[in-house]
Structure 1
Amino acid sequence: MVRHEPATTPRRTDEVTPTSDDHNTLLAWAVFGERTVPGVWFERYWFKRHEAAYAAFAPFTTGAVVVEAGCGEGYGAALLAKSASRVIAVDTAADVVEHVRHTYPGTTPVRADLQRLPFADATAEVIANLQVIEHLNDQEAFLAECARVLRPAGTLVLTTPNRLTFSPGRDTPANPYHTRELAPDELVPLVEEHFVVTRLWGVWHAPRLQAWERRNGAIVDAQLAHPYPQWSSALAQRVRSTDVGDFALHPDTPDTPIASSLDLAVVAYRRP
């Protein structure tokens, strides 16, 4: 049985410190669960879980004009900008857009309603929407808007929590910021109203996290069981050391059925 001791593992050098200009804003976003942010140690598991999907999508965004619909803190847009020809980072919140403007100068931040994107028809090569669609009130309208903005055969890359594992046995999402979560057999038909799905991947824990869970139990449950100052030293150390390589994205297999995945990842192209 894991004892819940104060987390006393050394602080990483890339963590936000109280002297950082954006510390209060980033910490508030993390604590209230609205956005995943870099540099906040107790968010590192979620941050790296999201970052792994950006890495997997890189072959589809390299050299392209990319619209990130729902950019959040902006770290994902910055990752995309490393290889895309241009990244337009869209969010509905003014404070987010200003933060992205000052923090990630390699992106073009735009404030807009995701269901009414301020772009002409058939102008984007790729739309990226990672861990956002579950927050939207009208998912169908959003996907129709993505299809309008994308060029013919343009690409949509999307991730969302797997309802079957994120909110198991519930009629409503466990996360109060989510409006509608999706299972694999719900996500694909929704996307295919306007797109052709070419890849459906699941996100799973890679061997290092699997080994930790065999010894200590589910890492997500452990993080949610107590406020982070009350985490055990083992949990705190595991969260601090989490990296992109601790997650794996791959399609449905007999040993890893997509229904058991943590998140769902889709690559689709716009119907003609």
Structure 2
Amino acid sequence: MSPATPAQTETLPITGERTVPGIPEENYWFRRHEVVYLDLVTHCTDKTVLDAGFGEGYGADLISRSAAKVIGLDYDASAAAHVARRYPEVSVLRGNLATLPLSDASVDVVVNFQVIEHLWDQSQFLDECFRVLRPGGELLISTPNRITFSPGRDTPLNPFHTRELSAAEMTELLEGSGFAVDAMIGVHHGPRLRELDAKHGGSIIDAQLDRSIAGIPWPAELFDDVAAIRVDDFLLADADRADAPIDDSLDLVAIAVKR
């Protein structure tokens, strides 16, 4: 399946927390999120899917190409209006993730990518996911890895995050809501991104963030390298892969099942 390529002319504003496609300076973060949608979209084939916290909506649209039905839920009014207008195959609902506006056992898959770290009551949200899933249904969830995203800290560096999780902490939360964790996957830089890390002072992430925070213009070489990043520059590795330890990953991706 080809990646989504929305036109640049109709995008939501950059907030620092919502990944917007079609903007060269955002391309690293967009591809880092997109690779997870592309890797897990087969779990949604011919299923009724809830994308809980859809952001710009490109992921819900991608899922809609193979799913039987995609329900997109977000609290933000501007995002809901944008998705309803831009992605007509997505059935848009506006609501709170703490009390999902769906009936018990009404969906086959819940998708929740890069959202749970923003929620105050993560356990309540996972309880709600369990409630709306049919028996055998799957929760596909991703979040930044606390160990690498806010190293050495219990409180997040990102002021928009309420609580970040390690792989062990995510597993504990999921199991506490009744899920069985079928897979824990880490998102890592692949060979080409590791080369770009070395090229840009050890971290292409820091090279972007340091300049953006300081308001320093990006050099042309950094701009070009970021704009050229592809989804296959990232590596998704199972938790037991020896050469890519889960605690060294950038993001965590879990596949959890309602038994």
TM-score range, shorter chain: over 0.9
Aligned-pair Cα RMSD in Å: 1.5
CA distance in 1, matches of 2:85, 2:73: 15
Confirm whether residue 257 of structure 1 aligns to residue 245 of structure 2. yes
- The CA distance in 1 between the partners of 2:25 and 2:7, in whole Å, is 10
How do residues 49-64 of structure 1 correspond to structure 2 at under 5 angstroms? Answer: 49-64=32-47
Q: 1:242 to 1:229 in 2, by over 3 A?
A: farther
- Note if 1:175 corresponds to 2:158: yes
2: CA distance between counterparts of 1:14 and 1:230? 26
Q: Distance in 1 between matches of 2:246 and 2:257?
A: 21
Structure 1 residues 13-162: aligned runs within 5 Å: 16=8, 20=9, 22=10, 26=12, 28=13, 30=14, 32-162=15-145
Deviating runs (4+, > 6 A) in structure 1? none
Whose RCO is larger (CA < 8 A, sep 6+)?
Answer: 1
CA 1:36–1:131 in 2, change beyond 3 Å: closer, same or farther?
Answer: same
Deviations 1:200-221 (A, max 9, x none): 0000111111112122220111
Task: Report matched runs for 1:218-237 at 5 Å.
Answer: 218-227=203-212, 230-237=217-224
Query: What are structure 2's unaligned runs of at least 5 residues?
Result: none
Hey, what's the Cα distance between the residues in 1 that align with 2:63 and 2:246?
A: 26
1:209-267: CA deviation from partner (whole Å, max 9, x where unpaired): 11121222201111110127611222111110011111111112222110000000000
Q: Quick one: distance in 2 between partners of 1:68 and 1:79?
A: 11
- Contact 1:15/1:41, CA 8 A, preserved across alignment: no
Distance 2:173 2:114 in 1: 16
Match in the other structure for 2:257: 269
CA deviations on 1:136-193 (whole Å, 9 max, x unpaired) are: 0100000000000000111000000000011111221111111100011111111112
Q: Aligned residues, how many?
A: 250
1:189 is paired with a residue of what secondary structure?
helix
State the identity %.
47
- Distance in 2 (CA, whole Å) between partners of 1:211 and 1:34 is 26
Cα distance in 2 between the residues matched to 1:270 and 1:204: 28
Give me the TM-score of the superposition, normalised by structure 1. 0.88
Distance 1:185 1:78 in 2: 31
Separation of aligned partners in 2, 1:65 and 1:88:
8
* Distance in structure 2 (CA, Å) of the matches to 1:189 and 1:109: 31
Contact 2:147 2:166 in 1 (8 A): yes
Q: Distance in 1 between matches of 2:20 and 2:74?
A: 15
- Contact 2:6-2:58 within 8 A present in 1 as well: no
Code of the aligned partner of 1:197: V
1:195-210 equivalences under 5 Å are 195-210=179-194
The 2-side partners of 1:171 and 1:265 are apart by 20
Look up the match of 1:187. Answer: 170
Q: Deviations over 1:57-85 (max 9, x none)?
A: 12211111000000011011011111111
